[in-house]
Amino acid sequence: MNENEQKLFSIWRDKAIKYQDITPLKFGMSQEAVTAAFGEPDTVSTMKAGGRPLILKYQDIEFHFDERTRRGLYLIYSDCETDLSITAEHIQ
């Protein structure tokens, strides 16, 4: 992430932690949509499906994807100081 993307992500992170508001993200969205919103991730998982990582990590927050069933984003998680875990109850 470049400096501007880092600032925007930090604003989003604070809002997600405080209010569990993940806007502009939506559960079920693709990895491309997440990278369009936040830029390239800081790291990605070594676990892959169809050659694509299943987890994108920005700062201390992980975005988990289920590409095998084409359901996209299904979990936003951090086990750092925030202990954040936001899941989709039902993805249509």
Q: What per-residue confidence (pLDDT) applies to 50?
A: 77
Q: Which residues contact 90 (CB under 8 A, 6 or more apart)?
A: none
Closest CA to 22 of 80, 68, 74, 69: 74
* pLDDT at position 85 over 50: yes
> How far apart, in whole angstroms, are the C-alpha atoms of residue 87 and residue 55?
14
Whole-angstrom CA distances from 65 to 11, 27, 35, 38, 76 are 22, 9, 13, 16, 9
Q: Name the pLDDT band for 88 (thresholds 50, 70, 90).
A: confident
Q: What per-residue confidence (pLDDT) applies to 69?
A: 60
* pLDDT at position 90 over 70: no
The model's pLDDT over 10-63, given as tens digits with 9 standing for 90+, comes to 999 999 888 888 999 999 999 999 999 999 999 999 888 778 889 999 999 999
